[in-house]
Structure 1
Amino acid sequence: MAARSSLYTCVNCGSQVQELFKQYSPAVLKLVHCGKCHKIADKYIEYDPVIVMIDLVLLNEQAYRHVLYNSPSQNHWRLAVILVLFEAYSEWMTHKDVKSSGKSHTSPYDLFEGEQSFYFECLQTVVGSSMLLLLTYTLTWLRWWVHAECRPQNYRNIILWNALVLSNCGKFLMIPSLIWGEIGTETHSLFIMGYTFLSQLKVYSVVCNTSKVGAGFIIFFGLVAKYYLCYMISNMKLQ
């Protein structure tokens, strides 16, 4: 891991540490213990990326801290683009299946209209995700304006954005539906929504150092605003 000037974060208690390991030779390094909790600051340095990914799927707070604070964050914007396209494609396929269920053939006009609908779904997803991010930022800063002592020392806006992007990886659970052709089944959709909400709740509580109740309150209102805005945009399209 390359050295950097900013502080790292203990994956156990969230405190800042000067370094994660001491390297004595190219083949020998010793992991540093946190000065507050006296545990190894970041055990994931020695772990295989597959193990880290499994812990992320299991919503492990230590794994989230490792990825968000102690790992390079250069690819989060690529992940954000992929998630937007994937969510838009899932919604587009759902609406496409509903519209085409009563048609016996597809005309060139229907193909053009379908492509236009996909671009509209992409725009709708971007606007909805931006609303979620904006409302989350607003409610967070309002909370810290009232309780300034609650703000973590290692908080940065880009970290919160990275966390919200990472928490949306539950959208990839739609892949089985896309493969099997069972788009939009109610049970599967509710499971994905519940898992994504829990993931967002976890990462927000990790980044903003708040209780699960406080994190759930902010994330819930952010999601309500997102889906309400998407609903209004869909109605505008139908009109």
Structure 2
Amino acid sequence: MTVCVNCGVEVLDEKGEEKREVYDEKLYKSTGIIKLIECTQCKDYVDKYIEYEGCLVLLDLALQHPPAYRHSLINQEHRTLIYKMAFLTLIVDSYCRWAMDSADRQFFEREFEFYAKFGLAVSSLLVNISICLLIVSFYQLFKMSSVAVNYPRLFDGLLLSFCTRFLQLLALLWGTESTQFLWWFVDFIYLLTSFNVLRILSGFGEIQSAAVAVVSHLALHLVDFNGHLLL
């Protein structure tokens, strides 16, 4: 499915069938020129991001622009890249947890604890995603939402939002007593990204998406707190 990144309306061809490309395919085949098509709903280009460099798309994702999320999660296939980024973020998340608890120890002295922290990071992530998916499924089951949800795509989107925690590495490297707000800022960015992903892919309104994002993040921090006490 291809949608307009601006308004979210599905793009159809002249026959009313699903259109896969966001440019004039006939013109491209005959001349090699890419001409972006316009959305019949909002009259803007369906997906301007196909002409953007990857770093510019990433910048708009960081700035929380919904069109960039629709482009990356719906119109393009980035599943493998998202999985790789999520795995790297899990390693960074685990290292940050381990380093903060091991500041007064030798680097290799508590190797086993690093693996425990990795397990805790995975558990926190799974709890966060599971709660989001369960709430969305509940709404779908009881017909409280009329929008069909693509759960694999929503899962990928929630993994993408988790990747914002990679910024914890900067908070760890630059962290001092006067910059402790960096940790809260990274968590806020994670919360805001989860909100945008839910709003775009779940069919929820802003209030519902915010509520789900907050509940799932509270559960994540609860797992973190209990895991910290156990470890």
Fold-level match, TM-score > 0.5? yes
- Could you tell me whether the CA contact under 8 Å between 2:86 and 2:163 is conserved in 1? no
Quote the residue 2:163 is aligned against.
169
For structure 2, which runs of at least 5 residues remain unmatched after alignment? Answer: 12-18
User: 1:178-217 to 2 correspondence within 5 Å?
Assistant: 178-180=172-174, 182=176, 185-217=179-211
Under a length normalisation based on structure 2, what TM-score does the superposition of the two structures give?
Answer: 0.86
Structure 1: how far apart are the matches of 2:163 and 2:177?
18
Quote the residue 2:102 is aligned against.
96
How many percent of aligned residue pairs carry the same amino acid? 23
Deviation at 1:181, TM superposition (A): 5.8
Root-mean-square deviation over aligned CA pairs: 2.2
For structure 1, which runs of at least 5 residues remain unmatched after alignment? Answer: 1-6
Report the residue type matching 2:23 in the other structure. F
Higher strand share: 1
Quote the residue 2:91 is aligned against.
85
User: 1:10-159 to 2 correspondence within 5 Å?
Assistant: 10-17=4-11, 18=19, 19-22=21-24, 23-25=28-30, 27-73=32-78, 74-97=80-103, 100=104, 106=106, 111-112=108-109, 114-152=110-148, 155-159=149-153
Deviations 1:77-125 (A, max 9, x none): 111101111111111111112xx1xx7xx4xxx834x111110010001
Structure 2: how far apart are the matches of 1:92 and 1:182?
17
The aligned length equals 219
Moved segments of 4+, more than 6 Å = none
- Could you tell me whether the CA contact under 8 Å between 1:94 and 1:184 is conserved in 2? no
Deviation at 1:176, TM superposition (A): 2.7
Under a length normalisation based on structure 1, what TM-score does the superposition of the two structures give?
Answer: 0.83
